Amino acid sequence: MTSAPARLPDPASTTVVVRELGHSDYLPVWEAMRRFTDARTPDTTDELWFVEHAPVYTLGTNDRNEPFDNPGIPVIKTDRGGQITYHGPGQIVVYVLMDLRRRAWGVKLLVRKIEQAVIDLLADHGIEGQRRENAPGIYVEGRKIAQLGLRIRHGASYHGLSFNANMDLEPFRRIKPCGYAGLETIDLAQLLGSAQRLPSGLQPQLLASLLKNLDYLSTHNR
Protein backbone atom coordinates (compact mmCIF):
# COMPACT_ATOMS: atom_id res chain seq x y z
CA MET A 1 0.00 0.00 0.00
CA THR A 2 1.52 3.30 -1.08
CA SER A 3 1.22 6.38 1.04
CA ALA A 4 -0.25 9.60 -0.28
CA PRO A 5 2.31 12.11 -1.59
CA ALA A 6 3.33 14.83 0.82
CA ARG A 7 1.39 18.03 0.38
CA LEU A 8 3.60 20.82 -0.92
CA PRO A 9 3.45 24.24 0.74
CA ASP A 10 1.28 26.82 -0.98
CA PRO A 11 3.74 29.16 -2.77
CA ALA A 12 1.45 32.12 -2.06
CA SER A 13 1.75 31.58 1.69
CA THR A 14 5.52 30.93 1.75
CA THR A 15 6.61 33.97 -0.27
CA VAL A 16 7.03 37.42 1.21
CA VAL A 17 7.92 40.87 -0.08
CA VAL A 18 10.43 42.71 2.13
CA ARG A 19 10.28 46.51 1.99
CA GLU A 20 12.93 48.82 3.45
CA LEU A 21 11.13 52.07 4.28
CA GLY A 22 14.08 53.77 5.97
CA HIS A 23 13.26 56.70 8.28
CA SER A 24 9.61 57.68 8.27
CA ASP A 25 6.98 59.37 10.38
CA TYR A 26 4.51 56.98 11.97
CA LEU A 27 1.20 58.23 10.59
CA PRO A 28 1.82 57.79 6.83
CA VAL A 29 3.15 54.27 7.37
CA TRP A 30 0.13 53.32 9.48
CA GLU A 31 -2.21 54.69 6.83
CA ALA A 32 -0.33 52.74 4.15
CA MET A 33 -0.69 49.51 6.16
CA ARG A 34 -4.44 50.01 6.38
CA ARG A 35 -4.74 50.69 2.65
CA PHE A 36 -2.66 47.62 1.84
CA THR A 37 -4.74 45.39 4.10
CA ASP A 38 -8.07 46.70 2.78
CA ALA A 39 -6.97 46.24 -0.84
CA ARG A 40 -5.41 42.80 -0.57
CA THR A 41 -6.99 39.75 -2.21
CA PRO A 42 -6.51 36.01 -1.54
CA ASP A 43 -3.61 36.12 -4.04
CA THR A 44 -1.81 39.11 -2.50
CA THR A 45 1.72 38.29 -1.38
CA ASP A 46 2.49 38.90 2.29
CA GLU A 47 4.87 41.72 3.15
CA LEU A 48 7.33 42.66 5.91
CA TRP A 49 8.01 46.39 6.24
CA PHE A 50 11.18 47.54 8.02
CA VAL A 51 11.17 51.14 9.23
CA GLU A 52 12.72 53.47 11.81
CA HIS A 53 10.27 56.06 13.12
CA ALA A 54 10.77 59.61 14.27
CA PRO A 55 9.94 59.94 18.01
CA VAL A 56 6.28 59.13 18.67
CA TYR A 57 4.08 57.67 21.39
CA THR A 58 1.35 55.37 20.10
CA LEU A 59 -1.76 54.31 22.00
CA GLY A 60 -3.28 50.88 21.44
CA THR A 61 -6.96 49.99 21.65
CA ASN A 62 -6.61 48.98 25.32
CA ASP A 63 -4.92 52.19 26.42
CA ARG A 64 -6.35 53.78 29.60
CA ASN A 65 -5.55 57.32 28.42
CA GLU A 66 -3.64 58.11 31.60
CA PRO A 67 -1.79 61.45 31.65
CA PHE A 68 2.00 61.41 31.57
CA ASP A 69 4.87 63.88 31.44
CA ASN A 70 5.26 64.33 27.69
CA PRO A 71 8.29 66.35 26.53
CA GLY A 72 6.53 67.35 23.30
CA ILE A 73 6.64 64.04 21.45
CA PRO A 74 3.60 63.43 19.19
CA VAL A 75 0.93 61.06 20.54
CA ILE A 76 -1.15 59.00 18.07
CA LYS A 77 -4.11 56.79 18.93
CA THR A 78 -3.94 53.69 16.74
CA ASP A 79 -5.95 50.54 16.05
CA ARG A 80 -3.36 48.00 17.19
CA GLY A 81 -3.77 45.88 20.28
CA GLY A 82 -2.13 46.79 23.56
CA GLN A 83 -1.57 50.07 25.38
CA ILE A 84 0.99 52.86 25.15
CA THR A 85 4.48 52.46 23.74
CA TYR A 86 7.24 54.57 22.26
CA HIS A 87 9.00 54.46 18.89
CA GLY A 88 12.13 56.38 18.02
CA PRO A 89 15.52 56.38 16.29
CA GLY A 90 17.65 53.32 17.02
CA GLN A 91 14.63 51.01 17.18
CA ILE A 92 13.94 48.45 14.44
CA VAL A 93 10.23 48.32 13.63
CA VAL A 94 8.87 45.46 11.52
CA TYR A 95 5.28 45.48 10.28
CA VAL A 96 3.92 42.01 9.53
CA LEU A 97 1.32 42.09 6.75
CA MET A 98 0.24 38.45 6.64
CA ASP A 99 -2.85 36.64 5.34
CA LEU A 100 -3.71 34.47 8.34
CA ARG A 101 -6.72 32.83 6.73
CA ARG A 102 -4.57 31.48 3.90
CA ARG A 103 -2.35 29.76 6.48
CA ALA A 104 -5.18 28.82 8.86
CA TRP A 105 -3.23 30.56 11.64
CA GLY A 106 -4.67 32.29 14.69
CA VAL A 107 -3.29 35.50 16.12
CA LYS A 108 -1.84 33.72 19.17
CA LEU A 109 0.26 31.49 16.93
CA LEU A 110 1.49 34.50 14.98
CA VAL A 111 2.45 36.26 18.22
CA ARG A 112 4.37 33.19 19.43
CA LYS A 113 6.27 32.92 16.17
CA ILE A 114 7.24 36.60 16.10
CA GLU A 115 8.37 36.35 19.73
CA GLN A 116 10.41 33.24 18.92
CA ALA A 117 12.19 35.12 16.15
CA VAL A 118 13.38 37.67 18.73
CA ILE A 119 14.33 34.96 21.23
CA ASP A 120 16.42 33.24 18.54
CA LEU A 121 18.09 36.52 17.55
CA LEU A 122 19.06 37.25 21.14
CA ALA A 123 20.35 33.71 21.61
CA ASP A 124 22.71 34.25 18.68
CA HIS A 125 24.29 37.02 20.79
CA GLY A 126 24.43 34.94 23.98
CA ILE A 127 21.39 36.58 25.57
CA GLU A 128 18.38 34.74 26.98
CA GLY A 129 15.11 36.32 25.93
CA GLN A 130 11.91 35.39 27.75
CA ARG A 131 8.17 35.66 27.26
CA ARG A 132 5.82 36.94 29.93
CA GLU A 133 2.32 35.51 30.38
CA ASN A 134 -0.41 37.87 29.14
CA ALA A 135 2.17 40.53 28.22
CA PRO A 136 3.26 40.09 24.58
CA GLY A 137 6.85 41.01 23.84
CA ILE A 138 10.28 39.77 24.88
CA TYR A 139 12.08 40.49 28.14
CA VAL A 140 15.66 40.09 29.34
CA GLU A 141 15.92 39.70 33.13
CA GLY A 142 12.57 41.46 33.51
CA ARG A 143 13.40 44.38 31.21
CA LYS A 144 11.55 44.71 27.94
CA ILE A 145 13.58 44.71 24.74
CA ALA A 146 10.85 44.04 22.16
CA GLN A 147 7.27 45.30 21.95
CA LEU A 148 4.53 43.57 19.98
CA GLY A 149 1.09 44.77 18.92
CA LEU A 150 -1.09 43.56 16.06
CA ARG A 151 -4.38 44.26 14.36
CA ILE A 152 -6.34 41.59 12.47
CA ARG A 153 -8.57 42.94 9.72
CA HIS A 154 -10.30 40.90 7.01
CA GLY A 155 -8.33 37.85 8.20
CA ALA A 156 -4.97 39.58 7.74
CA SER A 157 -2.50 41.14 10.16
CA TYR A 158 -0.81 44.49 10.25
CA HIS A 159 1.25 46.45 12.80
CA GLY A 160 3.88 44.18 14.36
CA LEU A 161 7.18 44.27 16.24
CA SER A 162 9.52 46.94 17.58
CA PHE A 163 12.99 45.88 18.73
CA ASN A 164 15.13 48.16 20.87
CA ALA A 165 18.54 48.11 19.21
CA ASN A 166 20.49 51.24 20.20
CA MET A 167 18.18 54.05 21.29
CA ASP A 168 17.42 56.71 23.85
CA LEU A 169 15.22 54.85 26.35
CA GLU A 170 14.33 57.94 28.42
CA PRO A 171 10.90 58.44 26.73
CA PHE A 172 9.89 54.97 27.95
CA ARG A 173 10.46 56.08 31.54
CA ARG A 174 7.75 58.77 31.22
CA ILE A 175 5.02 56.19 30.53
CA LYS A 176 3.74 52.84 31.74
CA PRO A 177 5.10 50.75 28.86
CA CYS A 178 2.32 48.48 27.64
CA GLY A 179 0.34 49.50 30.74
CA TYR A 180 2.82 48.27 33.35
CA ALA A 181 3.96 50.86 35.89
CA GLY A 182 7.68 50.66 36.61
CA LEU A 183 8.43 48.31 33.72
CA GLU A 184 12.03 48.86 32.67
CA THR A 185 13.15 48.75 29.07
CA ILE A 186 16.53 47.82 27.66
CA ASP A 187 18.22 47.78 24.28
CA LEU A 188 20.69 45.40 22.69
CA ALA A 189 23.54 47.88 22.79
CA GLN A 190 23.37 48.08 26.59
CA LEU A 191 23.13 44.32 26.92
CA LEU A 192 26.22 43.79 24.77
CA GLY A 193 28.12 46.47 26.72
CA SER A 194 31.06 48.61 25.71
CA ALA A 195 33.18 45.54 24.98
CA GLN A 196 31.19 44.84 21.84
CA ARG A 197 29.83 47.05 19.10
CA LEU A 198 26.23 46.72 18.04
CA PRO A 199 26.33 44.41 15.00
CA SER A 200 26.00 46.34 11.73
CA GLY A 201 24.08 43.40 10.29
CA LEU A 202 21.45 43.36 13.03
CA GLN A 203 18.50 44.13 10.75
CA PRO A 204 19.40 41.33 8.27
CA GLN A 205 19.80 38.99 11.23
CA LEU A 206 16.33 39.89 12.51
CA LEU A 207 14.90 39.43 9.02
CA ALA A 208 16.49 35.98 8.71
CA SER A 209 15.05 34.95 12.08
CA LEU A 210 11.58 36.19 11.11
CA LEU A 211 11.68 34.40 7.76
CA LYS A 212 12.59 31.14 9.49
CA ASN A 213 9.99 31.38 12.23
CA LEU A 214 7.20 32.65 9.95
CA ASP A 215 7.85 29.79 7.49
CA TYR A 216 8.71 31.95 4.51
CA LEU A 217 10.75 30.12 1.88
CA SER A 218 11.34 32.88 -0.68
CA THR A 219 11.59 36.66 -0.58
CA HIS A 220 11.38 39.61 -2.93
CA ASN A 221 13.02 42.88 -1.89
CA ARG A 222 11.35 46.15 -2.86
Residues composing the chain: 222
**Dihedral, CA of residue 191, residue 96, residue 29 and residue 129, to nearest 10:** -10
CA distance 47 to 220: 9
What are the distances in angstroms from CA 127 to CA 94, 122, 165, 200? 21, 5, 13, 18
Beta strands in the chain (DSSP E): 15-24, 46-53, 56-59, 75-77, 84-87, 91-97, 138-140, 143-153, 156-164, 218-221
Residue among 138, 178, 186, 206 flagged as catalytic: 178
**Residue 178 is among the residues annotated as catalytic for this protein:** yes
- Indicate which residues carry an active-site annotation: 178
